Structure 1
Amino acid sequence: MRTNTEATLESTRPLNPTPAVAPQKGRHRKPMAASKTPSSKASKRKRALVISVIVILILGVLAIGAYFVKQLIDSKYFFCTSSVTFIPIEKACDGVKDCSRGEDETSCVSHFKANTTFPVRLATAQHVLQVYRSSLGWRSVCSDDWTEQHTQTACTQLGYTYKPRSTSIPVTTLSSSLKVGPFAAVKPGTTATLIHQATVDLSVCKSGSVVSLSCSDCGVVGIQDRIVGGADAYIETWPWQVSLQEAGQHTCGGSLVSPRWVVTAAHCFSGSRKALTHWRVVSGRTYLTLTGGSYVDKIIVNGDYNAASNDYDIALMRLSSPITVGEYQRPVCLPPDAFNLAAGSSMAVTGWGSLHEDGKVSSSLQMAEVPLIDRATCSSSTEYGNMITPRMICAGFPQGGVDACQGDSGGPLVYLTSSKWNLVGVVSWGVGCARKEKPGVYSNVESMLNWIYTVIEKNP
């Protein structure tokens, strides 16, 4: 007889129970909830995309804001790393140590006078090698006993060196001033000695020829093709052109003369523009950009620079690390001594300066062709009178219309010879821009080669 409990259990059992099936590994029961529709998935993706875009925009705005805040701070203050404080920019490089460790007075523009003659140079358009001795002056170096090692040594003394080579030029083909000497020749076994110390004096060259040097690939460009009255230019045509930027603002132009040195104008560093940390050199760009660029570890102004007369208006900047020479970045050649360019010679001036007097700087590199003006004309009473010194040259048209302008200062005036561009002048000053009988005035690079070579040698 079954109990009531047993009867209850039996009544709940199916008559034909289905055998239990053991669950298989990896198989799961499908959820009973309805699957999401395609429209709801697309809506979620759209929301996620919008949120991502908003986040990116916010981050971009914050980054741009932070950049401009930094530029504003840099233009007004100097940061003391030792004490983590700011001081007014006017107090940097003023001769008083305002930072706890004095770093505000250690990273500043310096001044240098060349008191001695740099003893090696290239002369005339033939690039004749000459050495200097105080008792005899300049002497052309004969080809006698000259070797490839001497070529390397001489070019190294002259700065930027890349695949240097030498040729022999017959004395009879030299200019009249060089034909008669005096001459010098290297002593055997002096390949590693500085060239001016390795020579002896001669009255004539036994070989009948002198040494001509080509030290580098400076001034060479792959193609030839606003400045007021100018035209658009491309950096690959003028790869030595750089933008000098102080506190994030284009201030002056400059010219690469080696992978690490830039020639520019002394007046670019007037006023409070003396802290090295605020300067950057941007190279290899056709369009003016205010980001990136090379740091600077030396700015050396010619010690004879006179702000009142603009005389000796030249300076050198040393980059913290050398640029990589290529199609868009390449040094221009320093000119030989006694280049003797004739009045009317066509030259090129480049930069991002104003397109008209008192205008804004150009966003794109500009180029203009200007003729050299003879010194007598530029020094006449109708032009600049006695304001023109031997350290200056003039270029432009009597009627005006084409000229360098504000923002071009420090930039290059170049002349093409033997497929190489030579740095003839540095944009310095003028009355207005492109005015009639008021041409551009440029620092005469040839007259200050001694200073340039001496600075580079003393700051390797």
Structure 2
Amino acid sequence: MALNSGSPAPYYENHGYQPANFYPPQPPGAPSAPPAYATPYYLSPVPEYVPRVLTQDSTPVIRPQPKPPSPTVCSSKAKKALSITFTVVAVLSGVVLAAVLLWKFCECRGSWTLSAGGSWSHSLWCGAVWCCVVCPSRTHEDSPSPTVRLYGPDFILQVFSAHRKSWHPVCWDDWSESYGRAACRDMGYKQSFYSSQGVVDNSTATSFMKLNTSAGNIDLYKRLFHSDSCSLKRVVSLRCIECGVTTKVTRESRIVGGKNASLGDWPWQVSLNVQGAHVCGGSIITPEWIVTAAHCVEEPLSNPRYWTAFAGILKRSLMFYEYGYQVAKVISHPNYDSKTKNNDVALMKLQTPLTFNDRIRPVCLPNPGMMLEPTQTCWISGWGATQEKGKTSDELNAAQVPLIEPWRCNKSYIYNNLITPAMICAGYLQGYVDSCQGDSGGPLVTLKNSVWWLIGDTSWGSGCAQANRPGVYGNVTVFTDWIYQQMRANS
């Protein structure tokens, strides 16, 4: 977190890499750091790339010399055996060819639809009635996986209708906790469920998904059918995890301008370390998952074994005494561009789940349908340098920054059209308050409906706290679907 020192500085991208004194001094009496790997990797002030040289196999290929044909005696018995062999081969070839033609003619087609009765039905037909006996059987696994999401600041549960190509809220009628748990699992919350309740729908929906209580199958999606209204005039609000909650109530007067944080202020903030040194920040979204920036995990740091996460700690010097969480997986956004920093987001999955308490809590992922003000008040936090080209801070700092509209941030005298829809600008055009080196990957959060939402991850900027050079953050609001997909696929 930087305050402008007033002196000009060269262009700088928030890589989070440390320019000097990469290993912080170990406090007296602190236990020794864990042993390094067999081939330790020492970070450079800038990303380094290992060239890959393609080589050809130099092993000579030994080709056996062909043997001269040996004379054979063709007896009448041998001729008869050869004739029988050719006949069998010809018959088998004919059978295979007939089977292929039959399968081609009898190509089975089918589709899954959501019936008015509330169950998934499968329509199957073939090219001819008599060939249906050879059609492969279809099971529920072949049905499309119903897509669910949470909408708006009230966490309204919505289900996507493939038939109508649109999203629909779910009626509170006959809803139960077991259905809520099933929906949470489908969104990637492996064993997490917080609450579900009926709320008034403010999305002006005209069509809903309703539970068919007479359906025999207990599967949630086999019970859903379209309805024009909800009997109870309420829809399902689903919370899969208790997120966006802090132990602090008043904070504005203390953090504006980059002040030291207190325990419980930003419980989702983590320090991501490589070989005992802070490299980047991150945000807790579940006990196992952390959101950070893709540029933090560029090669060769894409290997999860390099990384250790520390949570619930304010001072980096105290991390020597605390338990660190090893990283099991590193997943960078497939469309991340290392040159433009477009789609600068990544996920880390921990080997051991975090235990939540007053100091360690998750932040909420932004739901689609959330309306933010053009200059929405946000907060940034991290252990980044407190001045241009300075050292990272030992204490966690936080500062208040407003969002800056994309059209303004793309003006020629600011970032000249470098800001894409996958980026967010935040800060002050006059400078003075900004994220800086070492803050990369850390959170940009906002408070709405008494809940803290992760709006961005610290990505890049030109210098630190310079005039007309605000901080640029990955736009987490456009990454939410991708994050849920990765949580589902890697649960």
User: One fold, TM greater than 0.5?
Assistant: yes
User: What are the superposed Cα offsets for residues 406-438 of structure 1, whole Å, 9 maximum, x if unpaired?
Assistant: 100000011112332111111111111111111
CA distance in 1 between partners of 2:388 and 2:438 (Å): 11
CA distance in 1 between partners of 2:343 and 2:363 (Å): 20
Instruction: State the Cα distance separating 1:369 from its structure 2 match.
Output: 0.4
Is it true that 1:311 corresponds to 2:342 in the alignment? Answer: yes
- Partners of 2:378 and 2:401 within 8 A in 1: yes
2:113 paired residue number: none
Which ranges in structure 2 are unaligned for 5 or more consecutive residues?
A: 1-26, 56-143
SS at match of 1:205: coil
SS at match of 2:417: helix
1:164 paired residue number: 194
Is it true that 1:188 corresponds to 2:219 in the alignment? Answer: no
Of 404-413 and 384-393, deviating more is 384-393
1:355 paired residue number: 386
C-alpha distance 190-245 of structure 1, shift in aligned 2 (>3 A): farther
Q: 1:58-73 residue pairs with structure 2 within 5 A?
A: 67=33, 70=36
- Partners of 1:332 and 1:421 within 8 A in 2: yes
Aligned residue identity for 1:180: A
Is it true that 1:394 corresponds to 2:425 in the alignment? Answer: yes
Greater relative contact order structure (CA < 8 Å, 6+ sep): 2
Q: 1:427-438 residue pairs with structure 2 within 5 A?
A: 427-438=458-469
Higher helix proportion: 1
Aligned residue identity for 2:437: Q
C-alpha distance 455-192 of structure 1, shift in aligned 2 (>3 A): farther
Structure with max Cα Rg: 1
- Partners of 1:92 and 1:274 within 8 A in 2: no
2:241 paired residue number: 216
SS at match of 1:456: helix
Which ranges in structure 1 are unaligned for 5 or more consecutive residues?
A: 1-59, 78-88, 97-115
Query: Once superposed, what is the RMSD of the aligned Cα atoms?
Result: 3.3
Q: 1:130 aligns with which of 142, 149, 158?
A: 158
Instruction: State the Cα distance separating 1:170 from its structure 2 match.
Output: 2.7
Of 196-205 and 129-138, deviating more is 196-205
Instruction: State the Cα distance separating 1:61 from its structure 2 match.
Output: 9.6
CA distance in 1 between partners of 2:177 and 2:50 (Å): 52
C-alpha distance 403-260 of structure 1, shift in aligned 2 (>3 A): same
User: What are the superposed Cα offsets for residues 16-70 of structure 1, whole Å, 9 maximum, x if unpaired?
Assistant: xxxxxxxxxxxxxxxxxxxxxxxxxxxxxxxxxxxxxxxxxxxx99998x74984
2:95 paired residue number: none
Aligned residue identity for 1:126: D
Instruction: State the Cα distance separating 1:159 from its structure 2 match.
Output: 4.2
CA distance in 2 between partners of 1:342 and 1:439 (Å): 18
Percent sequence identity over aligned pairs? 38
CA distance in 1 between partners of 2:452 and 2:217 (Å): 30
Of 390-399 and 450-459, deviating more is 390-399
Instruction: State the Cα distance separating 1:446 from its structure 2 match.
Output: 1.3
Q: 1:278 aligns with which of 303, 306, 328?
A: 306
Instruction: State the Cα distance separating 1:374 from its structure 2 match.
Output: 1.6
Instruction: State the Cα distance separating 1:163 from its structure 2 match.
Output: 5.5
Instruction: State the Cα distance separating 1:248 from its structure 2 match.
Output: 1.9
CA distance in 2 between partners of 1:360 and 1:95 (Å): 39
SS at match of 2:313: coil
C-alpha distance 210-74 of structure 1, shift in aligned 2 (>3 A): same
2:183 paired residue number: 154
Aligned residue identity for 1:348: W
Instruction: State the Cα distance separating 1:315 from its structure 2 match.
Output: 0.5
C-alpha distance 285-169 of structure 1, shift in aligned 2 (>3 A): same
2:168 paired residue number: 139
CA distance in 1 between partners of 2:240 and 2:343 (Å): 27
User: What are the superposed Cα offsets for residues 143-170 of structure 1, whole Å, 9 maximum, x if unpaired?
Assistant: 2321222222223333456562222223
Q: 1:448 aligns with which of 459, 479, 482?
A: 479
CA distance in 1 between partners of 2:215 and 2:426 (Å): 44
Q: 1:40-439 residue pairs with structure 2 within 5 A?
A: 67=33, 70=36, 74-76=40-42, 119-135=147-163, 136-160=165-189, 164-171=194-201, 174=202, 178-188=203-213, 195=220, 198-224=223-249, 225=251, 229-289=257-317, 291=320, 292-439=323-470
CA distance in 2 between partners of 1:269 and 1:250 (Å): 13
Of 272-281 and 160-169, deviating more is 160-169
Instruction: State the Cα distance separating 1:247 from its structure 2 match.
Output: 2.2
Q: How many residues align?
A: 365
User: What are the superposed Cα offsets for residues 66-107 of structure 1, whole Å, 9 maximum, x if unpaired?
Assistant: 749848962259xxxxxxxxxxx97799999xxxxxxxxxxx
Instruction: State the Cα distance separating 1:313 from its structure 2 match.
Output: 0.6
Instruction: State the Cα distance separating 1:117 from its structure 2 match.
Output: 10
Aligned residue identity for 2:183: A
CA distance in 2 between partners of 1:170 and 1:420 (Å): 19
- Partners of 1:229 and 1:355 within 8 A in 2: no
Is it true that 1:457 corresponds to 2:488 in the alignment? Answer: yes
Aligned residue identity for 1:441: V
1:100 paired residue number: none
1:101 paired residue number: none
CA distance in 1 between partners of 2:399 and 2:157 (Å): 33
- Partners of 2:33 and 2:276 within 8 A in 1: no
Instruction: State the Cα distance separating 1:216 from its structure 2 match.
Output: 2.4
C-alpha distance 393-198 of structure 1, shift in aligned 2 (>3 A): farther
Aligned residue identity for 1:429: W
